[in-house]
Structure 1
Amino acid sequence: MKSKTALALLSLLPLGGLALAQAKSDEPQKQNIIDEVVWMVGDEPILLSDIEYQKLVLRSEGHTEGDLDCVIPERIAIQKLFLNQAKIDSIEVGDTQVNRMVEMWIQNAISQLGSQEKLEEYFNKKIGQIREEQATQVRNEEIVRAMQQRIAQDVRVSPSEISAFYKQLPQDSLPFVPKTVEVQIIAMQPQIPLSEIDRVKGVLRGYADDINAGKREFSTIARLYSEDKRTAAQGGEYGFVGKVSLDPAFATAIFNLSEKNRVSPIIKTDEGYHIAQLIERRGDLVNFRHILIRPVVEEKALEQASARLDSVAGLIKDQRLTFEQAAELYSEDKNTFNNGGLMTNSSNESNFSGSALFRYEELPQDIAKVAYTLKTGEVSKPFTMRNDKGLEQVAIIRIKAEHAEHMANMNADFRTIKEMALAKKRARIIDEWIRQKQRETSIVMAPRYRDCAFQYPGWVHDKK
């Protein structure tokens, strides 16, 4: 039986294990901890070092609830169930996404602990080792998330299910809906002189000439000069995407690239001006590097745009135009001018995502500072802001409606309750999937873990 083989590994591997952590130089009496396999999930081992590392990570983030010696190995075991299925389903995540998340985690950890040296001391590892182990963990978590989305992707809730879910909720379990606002916007782009556009294009041509001549690396220039903060730290690497995820003009240029070492012609998008370099193509997906340069907006151009918007605001205040009419006539915000200027919440972490409702803290910072000072129906003075593309523009806003904080109800908060019901149903589907895979998978653990009060009892069993 596979379980006997696993049990043999559990007893033999500690004798030939690896050093988990070397004794600190200021603690010469401390003994090396020998690594060992403490669980087997199918053919996948869970090492004691895996558990110890995750304990340190959780404690560094302030998570101390529960018995971590039981919580963590079960969490890793569940993760391995998903990872095994992800291999079968060929689910992968891109290096760029992983590296970005790892760097964010490391910077946050350094901020919490005080310095890189203290981070290395806390984990008793060099920063390169920490980065590598965290990359493995982040990659696994992202694969698990993608696997869970696939498992629950077809889950829906009917109106009757939503109603039944709401009725069974105790009154003290109803979600508290915070104060929200609906915001309308009219935005104008300041005029950029041709001389400034020519300057930007000249800079990009110079970069392209140096790269094509082999004088400089594309990734080096991207790190130093690209104004796309999302990709500059990765040498401009964007990660694998399809055409629909890119600006149409940008997508056309990228998918027309055939030579990996050549640089694209200059590409104009709503974000600015780019040059790009192909890294790899996989069917309908492409990975590339790019450098973004944005034209500099002169103060005079901002003042002129502000004066034009001030006149528009006057027309609205004098009731010669409604805000909706003015948005359709004058706004250059492509996301809102066809919708009366009404903004849509696009935050992936918001309960109001996809709706016109915003908590103040969910609004873009430049808009939130102005919105907070306005009364319902009031139109702001023109102000300068950066849009979602990072470009400077001038805007006026209006608070269309304000919704007081309240306990959720079916009339006012159907969307919120629907999302709660859907989340519960998806969680149930995933929970059932875990229990099924748990029954089907050969799992063996060291005796020390058998008295744990697991979330999913029944880990220990033999499968022939």
Structure 2
Amino acid sequence: MRKLFSIIGTVVLLASFASPAVSSFKENNSFVASSDTIITSEEGAPNVIDEVIWVVGDEPILKSDVEVMRIQGEAEGYKWKGNPDCAIPEQIAVQKLFLHQAGLDSIEVTESEVTQEVEDRINWMIQQTGSREKLEEYRGMSLTQIRQEMRDDLRNQILVQRMRQELVKDVSVTPADVRRYFQDLPQDSLPFVPTTVELQIITRQPRVEEEEVNRIKNQLREYTERVNNGETTFATLARLYSEDGSARAGGELGYTPRAALDPAFASVAFGLTDPKKISKIVETEFGYHIIQLVDKSGDRINVRHILLKPRISSEAVKAASERLDSLAQDIRDKKFTFDDATYVSDDKDTRMNRGLMAFYNRETGERTSRFRMQDLPTEIAREVEKLQVGEISAPFQMVNDKGKNVCAIIKLKARTESHRATIAEDFQILKGIVLNKRRDQVIHDWVVNKIKNTYVRMNERYRDCDFEYEGWVK
């Protein structure tokens, strides 16, 4: 059961990184489904393009679902327990059991929770690819379109997580339980704790010059005037000039709920009533937009937009870096402390905590100030390698968790070198290991019992698999 959720939880990234061909095919072809195959007709000749390999309850598992998860697992270096052809469909099936139970128990997820998870995941993806533009280029779609594609998968992930938490909410361990578990283990069997660091950070976002903002706004006013004069269409201008990934679709975003849009953008978009009129200029964290209504349907809206992003001058970047360099030197000269200096930081999340960075572990749901090196953004990890405890870095540029390019300095507050865990120094880590083992056993027992009362049908080739959970083969 270990890492079940973390692996299944990345299915949305499969859609985001690994399956553009699959998603594109499904969008552009009509399907006719039999009991075990999904086919499409091309010039009258049926072609099998997918296959129903399992049915759990009334939910099918497709061969393409398995391939998508396999690709993501390989990309992350995940080693499947046993034969991947058996382990992957089993994990998908287990997810369906959790989702079914979540429905029976009326476990709910709000739109705002899904939106927050989408934004967190988008920002993580931007950090991995290096920039918003690179992510859009890699995916071949705008951030708004990526958000729409992710929402249902992430909603399911949250439901699965909530269901698992509900099942193990009463599981606990005592200090005596922890000591009993580890007291008889040989030294070389104790868990290895990797190096962790605690960091403080101050960031400055390079200032956009007023002249550049005026240039952007004048350009958008010109586009509005050209459309109003009948010189061209909004969609044509979007294709030619918009800096959003939706440009290739004429700026059209598709039907989108309010919660999936930037609040300022949504406020103006949902206020539009006439498809022939163009909105006022809207500023969001992504840049400046003009919007045209396409259609409204219930609580969803379809609009076109043109996005222009202000250019950050090299002078502005230099000025932000020099400000941070001067600040760092004043701290080194003991004119004030790093804690005192964090009030100038543009990072609202860390500024309220004296610059202390926090890491959210998606697998455990816990938040901590201790980072493993692999959990740090690349630019920060590179600087940490140069520092001794108490030292402050030189200014550097990075992409923050909001996807923006910023200048930053960091202070290495603490470093704990890798070591074998001990009860005295690492009690919380060891307690977590024992607690997770107990939770895993509760989850395992629940899944086995759930399988007994669930209709399962699978392709004959899976009936000889060595599954983690007994009872799949009826």
TM-score greater than 0.5 by the shorter chain: yes
Which residue of 365, 368, 372 corresponds with 1:355? 368
Which residue of 239, 243, 261 corresponds with 1:225? 243
Measure how far apart 1:429 and its partner are: 4.3
**1:401 corresponds to which residue?**
414
2-side partners of 1:236 and 1:178: how far apart?
44
Deviations 1:90-119 (A, max 9, x none): 98999x97xx99xx9xxx9xxxxxxxxxxx
**1:305 corresponds to which residue?**
320
Structure 2 residue 394 is the aligned partner of structure 1 residue 375: no
- RMSD between superposed Cα atoms in Å: 5.2
Shift in alpha-carbon separation, 1:314–1:348, aligned structure 2, 3 A: same
Is the CA contact 1:181–1:403 (under 8 Å) kept in the aligned structure 2? yes
Which residue of 179, 195, 201 corresponds with 1:185? 201
Which residue of 216, 239, 257 corresponds with 2:271? 257
Matching of residues 67-146 of structure 1 within 5 Å = 67=83, 70-71=86-87, 74-75=90-91, 77-82=93-98, 84-85=100-101, 145-146=157-158
Structure 2 residue 288 is the aligned partner of structure 1 residue 273: yes
**2:355 corresponds to which residue?**
341
Matching of residues 11-50 of structure 1 within 5 Å = 41-43=56-58, 50=62
Give structure 2 stretches of 5+ with no counterpart. Answer: 1-33, 42-46, 130-149
2-side partners of 1:455 and 1:223: how far apart?
53
Measure how far apart 1:205 and its partner are: 4.2
Structure 2 residue 452 is the aligned partner of structure 1 residue 430: no
Shift in alpha-carbon separation, 1:357–1:287, aligned structure 2, 3 A: farther
Shift in alpha-carbon separation, 1:64–1:83, aligned structure 2, 3 A: closer
- Out of 164-173 and 394-403, give the one that drifted further: 164-173
Deviations 1:125-169 (A, max 9, x none): xxxxxxxxxxxxx99976763442231233446774476256424
Look up the SS of the partner of 2:371 in the other structure. coil
**1:316 corresponds to which residue?**
331
1-side partners of 2:427 and 2:318: how far apart?
44
TM-score by structure 2 length?
0.62
Deviations 1:246-285 (A, max 9, x none): 76x52772685354956654333445434567776776x8
2-side partners of 1:16 and 1:384: how far apart?
55
Percent identity (aligned): 37
- Residue type at the aligned position of 1:201: K
- Residue type at the aligned position of 1:331: S
**2:163 corresponds to which residue?**
151
Measure how far apart 1:220 and its partner are: 5.6
Deviations 1:324-348 (A, max 9, x none): 11222x3232222232222222464
Deviations 1:328-380 (A, max 9, x none): 2x32322222322222224646x796222223333233333222212211122
Measure how far apart 1:195 and its partner are: 1.0
Give structure 1 stretches of 5+ with no counterpart. Answer: 1-14, 23-31, 109-137
Measure how far apart 1:293 and its partner are: 3.8
**2:233 corresponds to which residue?**
215
**2:82 corresponds to which residue?**
66
- Residue type at the aligned position of 2:203: A
Measure how far apart 1:424 and its partner are: 4.0
2-side partners of 1:286 and 1:424: how far apart?
46
Measure how far apart 1:196 and its partner are: 0.6
Which residue of 193, 196, 202 corresponds with 2:218? 202
> Which structure has the bigger radius of gyration?
1
Shift in alpha-carbon separation, 1:429–1:42, aligned structure 2, 3 A: same
Shift in alpha-carbon separation, 1:269–1:417, aligned structure 2, 3 A: farther
1-side partners of 2:237 and 2:83: how far apart?
45
TM-score by structure 1 length?
0.63
Look up the SS of the partner of 1:268 in the other structure. strand
2-side partners of 1:436 and 1:59: how far apart?
30
Is the CA contact 2:99–2:156 (under 8 Å) kept in the aligned structure 1? yes
**1:296 corresponds to which residue?**
311
Q: How many residues align?
A: 393
Look up the SS of the partner of 1:379 in the other structure. coil
